[in-house]
Structure 1
């Protein structure tokens, strides 16, 4: 034994001390959160870019885009997201989080490039559908990864922090729409959407760790323990590992309807439907709705920037509040406040007051949906969360399909201002659905 108490090596020299595992804190998992934040940033940028340049596209006679076609195309991208999200849970449990995430980034970057070179509405819509496939796969993976790596009892805050990137991306997309589109044309903004393939994909492939639960399920126990130790996490137990094989993947889906959660599952789907109808409907049509309400083009596009800025602030507020009071209660309240904000926006208020209402509505609107995702972490055990998240986001994408389509129908009929009442109704329905999740889980466990 050496004088310091360190065991001596056979040669008589002191052996190097064994490093202690890291403590599980936000600091220990910061690299993982940062990489997922970057991926979702580009997700938000790609989703919001369509709404940011839509007024310029409608004014471009060479494209031949009508309001009805614009609404349909907005739904094509979200239909692609639906397909991508539903397949994500199964693919990630089979192939792993990292390869599916990198592929998703490459796919939606390719879709953005296809939009930039499109010659008409059909080709443009095909590009948006391709982008939707990649975007739909990205979000469930990043959400489940962050929830797995988040410190104990901080999953809601970690989810909120992750989703700030979505709105930061939306703000950048709006900035590009305000600067690049008038000077270089709307196509230049979609060329900027190719950047994720150049920036995010190499970083994710090189630096993002694989899920310890997936590694354990594949029999790579030593690697699973090494990843958990590196980030200060508890080592995964066999019960935390997703089932493997075709039978196991089918069992993961059937587990969403087992005793205890069978009623909570469809309620989460309905809440996600309402939340995503609001998110994508507002991101696509807010500038045009405000324009038809009497505001100028520049102000109308700027409202999209302001509502996403409110979304960033709302994520911090919702995350911290949900870790204390639970994401279900917070989501229900946020949906109600969103409905109130949508009704106020339907009135032509003074410009300064309108900016305040838009910002406040952003605080509630986007984080209401995010807390639906956080509720998945409370309702389902670790082995089922990736599949549950894929289905909650996937089924919810039907709302993302309906929102832009419905906005297009109202715009084509000259009734864009009715969109505010439609969005308020979605907020009320979302509040009822997520509020009943608590009742359903209590009855199921009883």
Structure 2
């Protein structure tokens, strides 16, 4: 980088432009986005399958699940996700993106098989915990890969496109629950969760490129340059490479609290906590809450399909809007709209109107959380991206633990409908936390070296 030139924005390389003849566009990185889309599709299917079959699990006398136990098992899943997310961010800088991503897919597929074979609650919960370990690692990895390969000015759109797959997977889980569980039983729905090991893992192992930054950090410069040239990326500079070795991984975590980001980091964690409490609380308990509100079983499960359909639309809207106005503003507004939608769902509305409110709430709910990830990409530079996203998603998983547990606790006490108020409160908390990130970045910079936030970061 020339001393007289401006520094590159976080998330971009300081090296020369990509070689002539290969432009860095969505088309050039479409294969990477497609592979990660497939992986996250199965992630969304596995996460949502528990909520999709929840009424059938509670009605199965063999499992002897109570609402409280079911909520606890949901929290075991998300506790496994917390461990997976926190460990993955540093493991992937050491072992590489591709092998850790494939391992994540194999783990949650194995967890689904354990659930399908379980006869009592204890092994079923162990299967969900195992699945959580894989699910927790997959999301930050796919986000990191897509953000590394995507054109910098389209990072939020790329994130939104990737996350449409999560909701497509959620819709697939609901469809499987509606089609298989009433006639063949809930176990067949979990057997479908073994498909990622058969379909996605071989494709990822064969076709997904390794991160140029990780290759450079491991001394494989020629391979790093070849991957960058193939996909139209700038060749990685040493500043883009994650620190190597145990000390380097510890330094990567410490860098999350360096001047300029040290006050933004806990706010991103808090926003992620609120967002994931909403995502996993609603995904697990929406059918049961709607059933308690007086809707029929089929309608209650169908609401999960509708809210995920709204989520797909929301990702496309949020991605384009955030690239123009900044992910922080979009996330804060989306959190507020989610809170309003949750309060409306607590009212007993006509069925047709309820479907509309559920769909519109889905537009805001899921993409509010995803724009937290897009904001994190603009806060942390390339070398800290995987670690930063891993900790944002990992700490946020505490919200994913609390969400299912909270829904189960309210259901066990006969207060299912209070869940809507609790989720609305989480939306307000998320809006406040993410909305304060720009102020935290400005006040957290050293006074002697002020620098403006990257364009669109706010």
Q: TM-score, normalised by structure 1?
A: 0.95
| Separation in 2, partners of 1:202, 1:20 | 32
What are the within-5 Å matches in structure 2 for residues 389-428 of structure 1? 389-428=389-428
SS of equivalent residue, structure 2 residue 344: helix
Structure with bigger gyration radius: 1
Aligned to 1:4: none
What are the within-5 Å matches in structure 2 for residues 31-430 of structure 1? 31-430=31-430
Aligned length: 428
Q: Deviations over 1:420-440 (max 9, x none)?
A: 000000000000000001111
Give the C-alpha shift of residue 444 in structure 1.
Answer: 2.2
Aligned to 1:6: none
Give the C-alpha shift of residue 152 in structure 1.
Answer: 2.5
| Separation in 2, partners of 1:319, 1:328 | 12
| Separation in 1, partners of 2:438, 2:334 | 16
> In angstroms, what is the RMSD of aligned CA positions?
0.7
- Which runs of no fewer than 5 residues in structure 1 stay unpaired? 1-18
Q: Deviations over 1:247-287 (max 9, x none)?
A: 11000000000111111000000000000000000000000
- Paired residues of 1:21 and 1:229 also in contact (CA < 8 A): no
Give the C-alpha shift of residue 379 in structure 1.
Answer: 0.3
Give the C-alpha shift of residue 443 in structure 1.
Answer: 1.8
| Separation in 2, partners of 1:20, 1:72 | 55
| Separation in 1, partners of 2:194, 2:152 | 36
SS of equivalent residue, structure 2 residue 283: helix
| Separation in 1, partners of 2:278, 2:134 | 21
| Separation in 2, partners of 1:370, 1:413 | 32
Give the C-alpha shift of residue 20 in structure 1.
Answer: 4.7
Aligned to 2:7: none
Aligned to 1:27: 27
| Separation in 2, partners of 1:64, 1:362 | 32
- Paired residues of 1:77 and 1:128 also in contact (CA < 8 A): yes
Aligned to 2:440: 440
Aligned to 1:15: none
Q: Deviations over 1:366-386 (max 9, x none)?
A: 000000000111100000010
| Separation in 2, partners of 1:69, 1:123 | 13
SS of equivalent residue, structure 1 residue 62: coil
SS of equivalent residue, structure 1 residue 153: helix
- Which runs of no fewer than 5 residues in structure 2 stay unpaired? 1-18, 451-458
Aligned to 2:10: none
Q: Deviations over 1:223-242 (max 9, x none)?
A: 11110110011111110100
Q: TM-score, normalised by structure 2?
A: 0.93
SS of equivalent residue, structure 1 residue 262: coil
Give the C-alpha shift of residue 214 in structure 1.
Answer: 0.3
| Separation in 1, partners of 2:152, 2:252 | 24
| Separation in 2, partners of 1:442, 1:223 | 38
Give the C-alpha shift of residue 222 in structure 1.
Answer: 0.8
Q: Deviations over 1:312-371 (max 9, x none)?
A: 000000000000010011000000000000000000001111000000000000000000
| Separation in 2, partners of 1:62, 1:423 | 32
Q: Deviations over 1:52-88 (max 9, x none)?
A: 0000010111111110000000000000000000001
Q: Deviations over 1:362-416 (max 9, x none)?
A: 0000000000000111100000010000000000000000000000000000000
- Paired residues of 1:79 and 1:129 also in contact (CA < 8 A): yes
| Separation in 2, partners of 1:130, 1:433 | 31
SS of equivalent residue, structure 1 residue 154: helix
| Separation in 1, partners of 2:325, 2:425 | 25
Give the C-alpha shift of residue 21 in structure 1.
Answer: 3.8
| Separation in 2, partners of 1:152, 1:418 | 42
| Separation in 2, partners of 1:212, 1:142 | 15
SS of equivalent residue, structure 1 residue 168: helix
Q: Deviations over 1:132-170 (max 9, x none)?
A: 000001011000000000012100000000000000000
